[in-house]
Amino acid sequence: MADVEKIYHNLKSRAIGLKSAAELLPNCAPERRGKVISLMRDAAKDIERLLTELEAGPRP
Amino acid sequence: MSKLNILVVEDDPLSREVMDNNLAGHAVDFAADKAAAERKLKAGHYDICFLDLLLGDNDDYSGLKLIPLAVSKGVYSVVMSSCDTEETISRAYALGCKEFYVKGNEQQNLAAIIARYMRDDGGKKAQQVFAGDFITNDPETRSLVSEALKYAATELPLMILGPSGTGKTTLAQLLHGHSGRDGDFVAINCAAYTEDLLESELFGYKRGSFTGAHENRKGKLAQADKGTLFLDEIGAMSQNMQVKLLKAIEEKSFYPLGADKPEYSDFRVISATLEDVQQLLAEGKLRFDFFQRVHGMTIGLKPLAQRKCDILPLMQAFTKGKKRLAFEPEAREHLLAHNWPGNTRELKRFVELIGAGTQGTVTLETVRRHITPAAAPRQGIPEPVTPAQYDYALKHGLSAAVDRFTEGLIARNLSANGGKKAAALAQLKISKCLLYAALAKARKAEENPNG
In a 13 Å sphere around the CA of B280, the CA atoms on its Cβ side amount to 22
b or e along B115-131 (b: 16 or more beta carbons within 10 Å of the residue's beta carbon)? ebbebbeeeeebeebbe
* Domain with A16 in it: 3-56
Which pLDDT tens digit goes with each residue over B267-307? Answer: 999 999 998 888 888 888 889 999 999 988 889 999 998 88
Q: Which residues of B touch A12 (CB under 8 A)?
A: 82
pLDDT at A49 over 90: yes
- Nearest CA to B350 out of B374, B377, B368, B330 is that of B368
The ipTM (two decimal places) reads 0.88
**Rounded Cα distance, B134 and B174, in Å:** 8
**Rounded Cα distance, B227 and B240, in Å:** 25
- pLDDT at residue B335, rounded to an integer: 86
**Rounded Cα distance, A49 and B107, in Å:** 28
Nearest residue of A to residue B105 by CA position? A20
- Cβ-based neighbour number of residue B448 at 10 Å: 8
**Rounded Cα distance, B160 and B179, in Å:** 16
Which pLDDT tens digit goes with each residue over B339-373? Answer: 888 898 888 888 888 888 777 788 888 888 887 65
- pLDDT at residue B112, rounded to an integer: 86
**Rounded Cα distance, B294 and B291, in Å:** 5
Residue B136 vs residues B106, B133, B178: alpha-carbon distances, Å: 38, 10, 18
Q: Do the Cβ atoms of B17 and A36 come within 8 Å?
A: yes
**Rounded Cα distance, B221 and B230, in Å:** 10
3-state secondary structure of B165: coil
**Rounded Cα distance, B369 and B80, in Å:** 63
Looking at residue B132, what DSSP letter applies? T
CA B433, chain centre distance (Å): 41
Q: Which residues of B touch A43 (CB under 8 A)?
A: 12, 14
- pLDDT at residue B121, rounded to an integer: 62
Domain count, chain A: 1
The residues of chain B scoring below 70 in pLDDT are: 1-2, 120-127, 372-383, 445-451
- pLDDT at residue B171, rounded to an integer: 93
pLDDT at A59 over 60: no
Are B413 and B428 spatial neighbours (Cβ–Cβ below 8 Å)? yes
In B82-142, which ranges are E strands? 99-102
| Chain B closest-CA separation from residue A41 CA (Å) | 10
**Rounded Cα distance, B311 and B318, in Å:** 11
- pLDDT at residue B66, rounded to an integer: 93
- Nearest CA to B388 out of B376, B401, B378 is that of B401
| Chain B closest-CA separation from residue A3 CA (Å) | 9
Are B176 and B169 spatial neighbours (Cβ–Cβ below 8 Å)? no
Q: Which residues of A touch B13 (CB under 8 A)?
A: 39, 42
**Rounded Cα distance, A46 and A11, in Å:** 8
- pLDDT at residue B377, rounded to an integer: 46
The secondary structure of B15-54 as a DSSP string is HHHHHHHHTTTSEEEEESSHHHHHHHHHH---SEEEE-S-
Q: Indicate the residue of A9, A17, A19 with minimum beta-carbon distance to B54.
A: A9
Q: Do the Cβ atoms of A10 and B58 come within 8 Å?
A: no
- Nearest CA to B203 out of B192, B188, B214, B191 is that of B188
| Chain B closest-CA separation from residue A50 CA (Å) | 11
Report strand pairing: B228-232 vs B268-273.
Answer: parallel
Give backbone dihedrals phi and psi of B268, rounded to 5 degrees, phi first. -110, 140
Are B138 and B145 spatial neighbours (Cβ–Cβ below 8 Å)? no
- pLDDT at residue B170, rounded to an integer: 92
3-state helix/strand/coil string of chain A: CCHHHHHHHHHHHHHHHHHHHHHHHHHCCHHHHHHHHHHHHHHHHHHHHHHHHHHHCCCC
Q: Do the Cβ atoms of A39 and B58 come within 8 Å?
A: no
**Rounded Cα distance, B382 and B376, in Å:** 11
- pLDDT at residue B376, rounded to an integer: 46
